[in-house]
Amino acid sequence: MTATEVRRSTRNGTAALLGAAANGAFGFVLTTVILRTFTPAESGALFSVIALVTIVGAMCCAGADTALMWALPKQPDSGGRLLPVALLPTVALSVAVGLGGVAWSGPIARALLDGESSTALVRLAFVGVPVVVVSTVLLAAVRAIRPVGAYVLVQFVFVPVTRPLAVIGAVAAGGSVLLGFAGWLLPLAVAAVLALVLVAQPLSRPARGDWRRLWSFALPRAASAAIDASSMWVGVLLTGALATQAEAGLFAAAGRYALAGLLVMQGLRVAVAPQLSRLLGAGSRAEAARAYRRATLGIVLLSWPAYLLLAVYAPAFLAVFGAPLRGAATPLAVLALAMLVNVGVGLVQTVLLMSGNSRAHLAATAGGLVLNVVAAVLLIPGHGALGAAVAWSLGIVGENVLAAVLARRALGEPLFSALLWRAAAAAATATGLASLLGVLVAGRGPAGLAIALGVLLAGSLGSLAERRVRAALVQVRDNVLTGRSS
């Protein structure tokens, strides 16, 4: 790897991680605004309609966003040909689905939501489906052909920063859940315009085979994309339908923390996915496997301590959202433990997609969804948010184990190194001991969490006195951010 490539990779990795951190932080701000502004039932309704538009929007994208991510890095100058191929069918589908949803908003609202404003909420959700689709496809093109910083600024900074401001402004204007949801949608419309400016190229007639090439990859991805988007949101919808909107709000709060812990993985996926596409497209499977292992090492080192702390100190973390959310502590602990598996296997789904194995990715995600839905139908009526958390956890573990097996076949190389196992064991041991001390001294509340964090910080600073530890950290940093092999 040349010095220029090292600097570029370092910038990309750092920008993606910082952007993911901002996205996670302002995601919490948005969740806090919603939970503290509306009643538990209103919050549950708002999260349910966000779930609806997210799932339907992902279905209408039909995999075109991931297909652009797969195709454009190989031919960066083909955007003028491929963008219309991706956009025209998805926009037409989203408009048709949106019109149908508006027409059937009453029955859909009665099935999923409660309250007088539920029909209007569902109607607005379907009006927003084309907005979700256009912004998603255009932002995928930005991610594929522009520097990582452009995508990060729009998707990870602009949208999450402006959403809580828009919701607060909407609440100040009238205070209704309907206006709050409109505030949630508005930044996506602006993001679509920004993305269009960033990817604008002279349009040209698609080459022979462009339609077949892009959509033969996209269509198998269409179902798995909807499943990916449904990972948490299907639980929110089912909890609202099979239990209560208040329970749906509890599950959404727990899910917000569970997903926020993925920020490191999300950031590295943004930086690594184009690299994997190029390497796998060139047949460099060994180098692609090394890139995967480097990313997984960074993900585990930074994410496992966070999830272990979430599992142990769930009550302390949920205190941010207020007393009514105490009932989400056990669901959050369950989800945090399941997420250890999710981050532990690394970017296996990205490997499958960037290797062109969208059908294998579909098999993994479909298996996880089936486990999730079947368990949810059985558990939610009797256990509410906890049942939804257990169901989602089963889906997470099942999907990731199957995806890891399929990714191993796709790469033809080992996924995990001895260094990864040692790093995971060290992270788990250190975090476990610090957490145990905090619980024994002050319980699972904020005081116990502060003690655990203090012990971890002191231990980390103390370990820096050891020269071998410093050298290992430098090596990990270089491996993760620059892509240099050890």
What is d(CA 268, CA 256) in angstroms, rounded to the nearest whole number? 20
Top-confidence residue, 446 or 232: 446
* Lowest-pLDDT choice from 20-29, 220-229, 376-385, 429-438: 220-229
Mean pLDDT calculated for residue range 20-35: 82
- The residue among 290, 305, 318 whose CA lies nearest residue 412 is 290
Top-confidence residue, 473 or 122: 122
Question: What is the per-residue DSSP string for 330-346?
Answer: HHHHHHHHHHHHHHHT-
Q: What is the pLDDT of residue 114?
A: 67
Percent with pLDDT over 70 in the chain: 89
Q: What is the pLDDT of residue 1?
A: 47
Tokens, residue 340: 């250890």
Mean pLDDT calculated for residue range 77-82: 73
Q: What is the pLDDT of residue 383?
A: 94
What is d(CA 287, CA 413) in angstroms, rounded to the nearest whole number? 10
**244-248, 257-261, 361-365, 377-381: which has the highest mean pLDDT?**
377-381
- CB-based contacts of 104: which residues, under 8 Å, 6+ apart? none
Structural domain count, the chain: 1
Mean pLDDT calculated for residue range 44-66: 90
Can you give the pTM of this predicted structure? 0.78
Q: Are 332 and 358 in contact (CB under 8 A)?
A: no
pLDDT confidence band for 12 (50 / 70 / 90): low
Percent with pLDDT over 90 in the chain: 41
Q: What is the pLDDT of residue 278?
A: 80
Mean pLDDT calculated for residue range 236-264: 86
CA distances from 106 to 98, 118, 122, 303, 325 (A): 14, 8, 8, 42, 30
pLDDT confidence band for 485 (50 / 70 / 90): very low
pLDDT confidence band for 392 (50 / 70 / 90): very high
Q: Are 372 and 394 in contact (CB under 8 A)?
A: yes
What is the rounded radius of gyration, in angstroms, for the C-alpha atoms of the chain?
A: 22
What is d(CA 254, CA 329) in angstroms, rounded to the nearest whole number? 7
CB atoms within 10 A of CB 470: 12
What is d(CA 226, CA 59) in angstroms, rounded to the nearest whole number? 5
User: Does the pLDDT at position 486 exceed 70?
Assistant: no
User: Does the pLDDT at position 331 exceed 60?
Assistant: yes
What is d(CA 270, CA 19) in angstroms, rounded to the nearest whole number? 10
- CB-based contacts of 471: which residues, under 8 Å, 6+ apart? none
What is the extent of the structural domain holding 371? Answer: 3-482
Give the burial class of 147: count Cβ atoms within 10 A of its Cβ; 0-12 exposed, 13-18 middle, 19 or more buried.
Answer: middle
Q: What is the pLDDT of residue 3?
A: 52
Tens digit of each residue's pLDDT (9 = 90 or more) over 446-462: 999 999 999 998 887 77
CB atoms within 10 A of CB 88: 11
